[in-house]
Structure 1
C-alpha cells in the first residue's frame, strides 16, 4: 500500500472511530458497565424469597407480600389471597397492618419536635405529661430519650389488655393513648439500679401522647403531616376507625376453634405503638427517605440509629449488614394476624420489606415465632448479594 493510500485508510479509520464514540455518548451505549441480569440470574437472586413465600402459603398463610430494592432494581412479589372468603388474589401493592413499624414513624415525629426546639430528649416526661407520675408512679425520673430507646422500664399495657376479655371485644374497642397508659399503670413498675433495654409498647403510647399535646392534633393527623404527605404516601396512615379498604389483605386468628377476621380493628385507631397501615412499597420509601436525611437532619438520623453496640436506637432496630460490615435499619412488626420485617442499608439503597398474614392461630402474648424466621430470610437475602 502506498503512503498516500495508507494515510487515507488511517483517516477513514479515525473518522469511523470518532463517529462510533459520538454515537456511544449520545445514545448512552458502548460502556464497560456490567450487563443487566438475565431472567435466569434474576430468578436465582430471589429464589430464597419465593421459596419462603411458597412454604408460608403451604402452611396456611393467606398472603405474602414482598418488595426488594437493590442497585436501582425493584422486585416485588404478591402471593396468596386478600380474603379467605372471597379468594381474591393478593397483590404486592396491597395494604396490611405494619404493627410496630409504626414506632419508627412516631419516633420521627418526636425527633422533629426536638429539632424545632419544642422538646428535649433529656427532659423528664412529666414536663410534657404532668399526669405521668400521678398515673404511672415511676420509681425514678424518666426522660423522653428513655421512652424512645425502651430503657424506661415502663410496663407494657398489652399484657393486661390481652387478659381483659375475649379477643374480639378487645380488638373491636377503641383505646385512647390515655387509656393505654392507664392499663400500663395496673402492672407494677419494678425499680432497678441500672435500667437496660426492655421492649414495651407503653413507651410509644406515652410518646404519641406527648406529640399530640405539643402539636395540638391527633397522632393520626401528625403522622400524616410529618411522613405521609411529604413523601406522597397515599396508603400509609393510622386508620382512625375507618373501614378496611378493598385492597387490604385480611388477617385472621382462631378463637374457640373458629376463624375470626381481625383486619383493621377499632383498636388500631389511636395505637401509636403499632396501629399503622401501609404497603411494602411505601414502607421501603419511608425508611429510605429517613436514612437519606429527607425527613430529619443527618445529625438527628445518626442519633436515631443509636450506638453500634446497641441493637436498638430510637425507634429503629438494627441487623448486621455483612456487605458493608455496618447495619441494616428498620423494624419488625408483630400483631394478631400480621407479621412484617423491613430492613434498609445505612445509605438507604438496599432494602427488603416482607409482610405475611399469619396462618390463623389462637392469639398469644408471645411474639409469633414466624417473625424470627422472617428476619433470618430477610438478612440472608440481602447479605447474599454482596
Structure 2
C-alpha cells in the first residue's frame, strides 16, 4: 500500500531511538543442522546487505516453502537494541497485501452467487456518487475503475498529519473523494487506487448483510487456520511483533509500529498477520484453492499494471492478484508498503511453492527508489531459489 505517496509526512516520534548497531546479526536458514548450500548463504547475505543499505530496514525475513519443506532466512533484528531475530510468528502490518484478502472474500461471493464481477457500484452501492455508478467489481479488483484515491485527498492527509492515531469511520473513507469525478472511463486504463478495495469490502457487506471483518473470518481465516491474522481498528499491535521503523538518514531509526490507526486504511491495507499465516494464505490464494476454476479464469485475465511497490520481474494485474514474470519463471501474488513495513507474498500457480518477504521499513518508488530496485532484485533471486528444481 503506497499510503501518503503524494505528501512527505513526518510522523510524530513514538520513541526517538539512539543509533544502535545491529552488530551484523544475521541468521542462516532455519532447518536441520547441516552446512548451508552456497545459494542459501548468498540469499542470507543479500538480506543482510539490505539491512545495511542507506535507509534499509533494521530487520528482514524471507520464508520459502516447497511442499512441506520450509526455509527461513533472516537478517537484522525484530527490535533495535534487542538481539532477537524476526520470527515467523511475529506480527506485522501486511500493508496492501490486504487487498488480496478482499479479493479472496469477494471472489468467493461470486462463486456463491452473491456477486458478479460485472455488478456495478450503482447496483450494489447506490449511495455512492452517481458519477461512479458504472464502475464494476472487476474494475475495482484490477484497478481500472478510475476511482479517485482517498489517501491522496488533502483533507484526509491533514487529519492524519494532525493525529496519526485518529479513529476514522472505515466505512465512510470514500466520503473524502465523493465530490470528485472518475479519473478516466472505467476499464480504459490501469491506475492503482486505495479506494478500490474499500469499495470492494463495502460491496461484500452490502450483498451479505455482514461486516467485512466477519466475512474475513468465515471465508479466509477459519478455512486456512490463520490464527494470528486480524483486521483491527486501532493502532496497537499484538505481541509478539516485529517493530516497524522510519529509517531516514541521518536521523536515527524511529519506531512507528503503533504510530497510525488501521481504521484509516481498513480493507485496503489494515490487516495484521505473521509470515507463517501469510505463507498459508498465499499458497491457497495464488494456488486457486479458495475459488472455482471458472472464477479463477476471470481472476487471471490480466491487464498491464504493477503492484505498489512493483514486485519482482515484469508485473501484470489480475483481480486482486498480480503475475510476476521473472527470469526463472512465474509466480502470482501481491506486494504492499505502509509506514514501517514492506511486503511481498507470492506462490506458484499450483500453490505448492511460496515466498514471503517482509522488511521493517517502508520502501517504495517515491521515498527510496534506489533501494526498491535493489529489493526487487533480491526478491527475484528468492523467486529463482523457490523455483529451482
TM-score band (shorter)?
0.7 to 0.9
Q: How many residues align?
A: 342
> Which residue of structure 1 lines up, in the alignment, with residue 355 of structure 2?
352
Moved more, 278-287 or 192-201: 192-201
User: 2: CA distance between counterparts of 1:38 and 1:184?
Assistant: 56
> Which residue of structure 2 lines up, in the alignment, with residue 209 of structure 1?
202
Q: Is 1:280 aligned with 2:275?
A: yes
User: 1: CA distance between counterparts of 2:164 and 2:281?
Assistant: 27
User: 1: CA distance between counterparts of 2:95 and 2:64?
Assistant: 20
The SS at the match of 1:272 is helix
2:65–2:71 contact (8 Å) kept in structure 1: yes
C-alpha change, 1:101 and 1:194, in structure 2 (3 Å) is: closer
> Which residue of structure 2 lines up, in the alignment, with residue 197 of structure 1?
190
Q: Is 1:315 aligned with 2:320?
A: yes
Moved more, 221-230 or 299-308: 299-308
Partner residue of 1:121 out of 111, 117, 124: 117
C-alpha change, 1:259 and 1:320, in structure 2 (3 Å) is: closer
CA distances 1:278-315 after superposition (whole Å, capped 9, x unpaired): 12221121111123343212222232222387700000
2:75–2:85 contact (8 Å) kept in structure 1: yes
> Which residue of structure 1 lines up, in the alignment, with residue 342 of structure 2?
339
User: 2: CA distance between counterparts of 1:187 and 1:47?
Assistant: 52
Partner residue of 1:49 out of 39, 43, 61: 43
Gaps of 5+ in 2: 1-30, 306-315
CA distances 1:48-100 after superposition (whole Å, capped 9, x unpaired): 43122211222352211110012542101333333336565432331111111
> Which residue of structure 1 lines up, in the alignment, with residue 5 of structure 2?
none
* Aligned-pair CA distance for 1:169: 3.9
Higher Rg: 1
The SS at the match of 1:106 is helix
> Which residue of structure 2 lines up, in the alignment, with residue 376 of structure 1?
377
The SS at the match of 1:287 is helix
> Which residue of structure 2 lines up, in the alignment, with residue 23 of structure 1?
none
User: 2: CA distance between counterparts of 1:68 and 1:223?
Assistant: 25
C-alpha change, 1:38 and 1:91, in structure 2 (3 Å) is: closer
User: 2: CA distance between counterparts of 1:180 and 1:272?
Assistant: 11
User: 2: CA distance between counterparts of 1:168 and 1:81?
Assistant: 29
1:329–1:343 contact (8 Å) kept in structure 2: yes
> Which residue of structure 2 lines up, in the alignment, with residue 31 of structure 1?
none
> Which residue of structure 1 lines up, in the alignment, with residue 74 of structure 2?
78
- After TM superposition, the structure 1 = structure 2 runs for residues 3-42 of structure 1, keeping only pairs within 5 Å, are 39-40=34-35, 42=36
Moved more, 266-275 or 61-70: 266-275
CA distances 1:198-256 after superposition (whole Å, capped 9, x unpaired): 11110001111111222323322221221111111111111232731221111122799
* Aligned-pair CA distance for 1:266: 5.3
Moved more, 115-124 or 76-85: 76-85
The SS at the match of 2:193 is coil
1:97–1:264 contact (8 Å) kept in structure 2: no
C-alpha change, 1:278 and 1:344, in structure 2 (3 Å) is: same
